[in-house]
Amino acid sequence: MSDRRVFIKQVGLQTIGFGLLNLLPASVMAETIRKPFVLPRSTPEQQGISSAGISRFLDAIKGSGQEFHSLMILRHGHVVTEGWWAPYSSEHRQQLYSLSKSFTGTAIGLAVTEGRLTVDDPVIKFFPDLLPNKISENLAALKVKHLLSMSVGHAKDSIMILEASAPGVPWEKTFLSLPVVFKPGSQFMYNSGASFMLSSIVKKVSGQSAHEYLKPRLYQPLDINGATWTENFEGINMGASHLRMRTEDLAKFGQLYLQEGMWNGKQVISKEWIAAASSKQTDNGKNDSSWTYGYGYQFWLNPPGGYRADGAFGQYSMILPAQDAVVVITSESISTKDTMRIVWDVLLPEMKGVPLQKNNSEHKQLREELKALKYVPHKVSDTSPVAAKIAGKVFILDKNEFNAKAVSFSFNENACVFTLKEDGKPDIIIANGFNDWIRKGNLKPAPHSLFSLRRIDFDSIVAASATWQNENTLLLTWRFIETVHGDSLTCVFDDEKITIKFLFSVNRLQHKPDDRADITGKMIV
């Protein structure tokens, strides 16, 4: 019996245990029901990977220049490595970007299995009241499978056009009005608008958003809790992006696909759908990069074999059947090809076919390395004579694109507390630690800009630090830890005046200036 089957059997035994719950006292039963399922843990050596090999992988990550936020490696159904780069941590959701597409595709697969639609259904069938006056031959030929396989026939990605639809115009109407230049199925062209249409189709055939539809069918069987998925004005999940969930939940998703849809003794997703989704449905290149080995149904095929759910800036749930492994990464990678390359070239060769001899010293060293993963806050000085002059004072801001009205600062020996007043909204308060990250109580609510506009368009916990770069310059660094990104504000004080300069994390990593104009203001005396 393979290790994977052992894992399935072990997990399945938990299901049998639920039949005994009615024999337990009510308090014990409630506690048992509340206890979440976690993936089994193991040492790397027991599952055929050396701890030293994973240490070499961590060294390669560090040397790549890419900013990882979390990492989880599963082998034979066991978590053998898990790490979060502080201030990121296991309990927080991760922004998935286009990794969301694989969940949208999964919702379609479940609907197909339930007989609600087929992949050969014409797309126009689902939107009879939103069709253009004249239906072209190519639009009529567009099928659900073409949306799934990114072979719609559009000349460019449609998502930005959908998002720019006139107020109140359904995005589906905009999508269906676009010219289908090429015969559907004839060529690959990555198209996030197609994923939105899949999400809309799920709602058409089920009466529920994709997120609600997945809850009893995917999230509950896998014990995925707390996930969120943004909707457009129609109440349709974005489909292509905007799903957030925890790192271990992404690992469960990958493990479910690795197990061909089987979980807790139940076929959660049909084997037939898994096979179709993970097969090359569209040829997309010459096998010369990680994006040119073929595309399935909302999954990319990997150069070394297997397939992956893949999101911008390096969000991955990689399914590797030949190695019986799953690799989950969340990151802010500017060069995602480098992120994947170190998985293919450094990690996969470390996966051996048999268990390895126990090595306590190497395993202890790996545990210490994983525990020490962190991003150190900027540190120059935690004091300045200017602090006493500006503490508690209000700076009225000049007109700006964020409708920010005023800022103020207060200080103690451990933190700088920054307060922002935005037009017509409650104050937003961020505590910034000197020499440390502060997370508790720091939240960027979705309605606020916090100077971010569309960069961070949903709520997120903020990990924040502060340092005085010189007597007159205060640097505030923010990591929106339930998103991919962060921001920094350089506040320059000149007598009664303030100038705020911005640097978005993507610009910082690309060594580029920010595109936001400075904001100026004056202290109320």
Sign (positive or negative) of CA dihedral 230, 233, 234, 238? negative
Q: pLDDT grade, residue 458 (50/70/90)? A: confident
CATH code, 95-245:
3.40.710.10
Residue pair 82/89 in contact by the 8 Å Cβ criterion: no
DSSP one-letter string for 189-239: ---HHHHHHHHHHHHHHHSS-HHHHHIIIIIHHHT--S-EE-B-TTS-B-S
DSSP one-letter string for 298-354: S-EEPTTSSEEEEETTTEEEEEEGGGTEEEEEEEE-S-HHHHHHHIIIIIGGG--SS
Question: What confidence tens digit (pLDDT) does each residue in 309-350 have?
Answer: 999 999 999 999 999 999 999 999 999 999 999 999 999 999
Question: What confidence tens digit (pLDDT) does each residue in 210-223 have?
Answer: 999 999 999 999 99
Question: What confidence tens digit (pLDDT) does each residue in 47-94 have?
Answer: 999 999 999 999 999 999 999 999 999 999 999 999 999 999 999 999
Residue pair 375/86 in contact by the 8 Å Cβ criterion: yes
Biggest alpha carbon–alpha carbon distance for the chain? 77
User: Two tokens at 19?
Assistant: 């039949």
Residue 453: pLDDT over 80: no
Residue spans per domain, the chain: 95-245, 385-523
Task: Look at residue 37 in the predicted model and tell me its pLDDT.
Answer: 79
In terms of C-beta distances under 8 Å and separation of at least 24 residues, what long-range contacts does 305-312 make, across chains too?
Answer: 306/278, 307/277, 307/278, 309/99, 309/101, 309/102, 309/103, 309/250, 309/253, 309/254, 310/98, 310/99, 311/96, 311/97, 311/98, 311/99, 311/100, 311/241, 312/97, 312/98, 312/336, 312/484
The class that CATH gives domain 385-523 is mainly beta
Residue pair 110/217 in contact by the 8 Å Cβ criterion: yes
Mean pLDDT of the region 189-195 = 98
For the chain, percent of residues with pLDDT exceeding 90: 89
Question: What confidence tens digit (pLDDT) does each residue in 361-386 have?
Answer: 999 999 999 999 999 999 999 999 99
User: Is the pTM for the entire model greater than 0.85?
Assistant: yes
Q: For residue 349, give every residue at least 6 positions away whose Cβ sits within 8 Å of its Cβ, in sequence order, or none.
A: none
Residue 98: pLDDT over 90: yes
DSSP one-letter string for 113-175: HTTS--TTSBGGGG-TTS--SS--HHHHH-BHHHHHTT----SS--HHHHHTPPTT--HHHHH
For the chain, percent of residues with pLDDT exceeding 70: 93
Residue 5: pLDDT over 70: no
Question: What confidence tens digit (pLDDT) does each residue in 21-30 have?
Answer: 344 454 444 4
Residue 355: pLDDT over 70: yes
Task: Look at residue 229 in the predicted model and tell me its pLDDT.
Answer: 97
DSSP one-letter string for 44-87: TGGGT--HHHHHHHHHHHHHHT-EEEEEEEEETTEEEEEEE-BT
Q: pLDDT grade, residue 31 (50/70/90)? A: very low
Q: Which residues pair with 492 in a beta bridge?
A: 473, 499
Task: Look at residue 512 in the predicted model and tell me its pLDDT.
Answer: 96
Computed over every residue of the chain, the mean pLDDT equals 93
Three-state DSSP class for residue 288: coil
Task: Look at residue 35 in the predicted model and tell me its pLDDT.
Answer: 65
Task: Look at residue 19 in the predicted model and tell me its pLDDT.
Answer: 40
Question: What confidence tens digit (pLDDT) does each residue in 415-425 have?
Answer: 999 999 998 88
Residue 351: pLDDT over 60: yes
